[in-house]
Amino acid sequence: MPAQTPDDLARLLVARFNARDIDGMVELYEDDAVLALPDRSLAVGRDAIREFYASLPGDVIFQVGRQSPALVTGDLALTSTVLSPTTATAEVARRQPDGTWKWILDRPNVLDA
């Protein structure tokens, strides 16, 4: 199921990761999306994003945080979630031609940028 709203993206990412549905997670990103990695490098494109998520240890569990309502203008949206006092995310999503939403930019921790 694709994201019908920008606010669906984080919830779907968490559910798919915890189900170890890596391909389902990657579907939440545009083909040329950019994901900031913990080592400050970038995963560019779905193949690199898939490789990163697949490399995470099996005991890692994603948690749903306190999501702010998406800030939307036209076909772009800013999404963000506070996961802990030291972790907050920021993402840019774009409306797809079919009306669904996908991330194009993803920084999983803006507090450690």
E strands in 56-95: 66-73, 76-84, 87-95
Tell me, what's the pLDDT at 60? 77
Tell me, what's the pLDDT at 20? 93
The CATH label, of 3.40.630.30, 3.10.20.30, 3.10.450.50, 2.170.270.10, for the domain at 8-112 is: 3.10.450.50
pTM of the model: 0.92
Going from N- to C-terminal start, the domains of the chain cover: 8-112
CA-to-CA dists, residue 33 to 30, 68, 111, angstroms: 5, 22, 21
Looking at the chain, the whole-number percentage of residues with pLDDT higher than 90 is 81
In single-letter form, the type of residue at position 3 comes to A
For 39-56, what is each residue's pLDDT tens digit? 999 999 999 999 999 998
Tell me, what's the pLDDT at 37? 94
Per-residue pLDDT for 108 more than 70? yes
Tell me, what's the pLDDT at 113? 59
For 67-79, what is each residue's pLDDT tens digit? 999 999 999 999 9
